[in-house]
Amino acid sequence: MEEESEPQDGEPIPYVLILDEINRTDLSRMLGESFSLLENRGESIDLPAYDAGGRVRKLCIPKHLYLIGTMNLIDQSVEQLDFALRRRFLWFDRRFEASTLLAAVKAMWGNEKSRHGWDAVQEDFKGLARAAQALNSTITASPSLSDR
């Protein structure tokens, strides 16, 4: 990971990694050594590799990196996921609601002490919510894509 960006108050900027359709791959294999670090944020492990100076390379998942895994309703094959992986995530069954997304982002935005106020980004998030709602409406109306 590149050098961390820090806002003016010295706190690291939170990063989000979205793993879309997490049940569609072998995450244990894909995540490799970082798999165990999901529970031990801020700790590092030695990798089977060396840097140019001959020192053992280390890997650490920072506490300000948030992982979000998604699955669609049609492919809810959680049983295929390794139990060790399942216990490292909280699971929520959520349908998309634009108002909920906007309320959550606004609340989180205020808590993060961003350099930019909510007013500066509010319209962008409203556009994102409208686009997501339109996509979900199209999927729901489609007999071949909808779960209804």
Name residues whose C-beta falls within 8 Å of residue 77's C-beta, 6 or more positions apart in sequence.
Answer: 23
Residue 2 confidence (pLDDT): 44
Residue 114 confidence (pLDDT): 66
pLDDT digits (tens, 9 = 90+) for 59-104: 888 888 888 888 766 655 555 566 666 677 777 777 778 898 898 8
- Say what the pTM is: 0.50
**Residue whose token pair is 């995540």:** 31
Q: Is 137's pLDDT higher than 70?
A: yes
CB 32 within 8 A of CB 82: no
Quickly list H helices, 5-148.
27-31, 83-86, 98-111, 118-141
Give percent of the chain above pLDDT 90: 11
Give percent of the chain above pLDDT 70: 79
Nearest to 64 by CA among 122, 125, 11, 24: 11
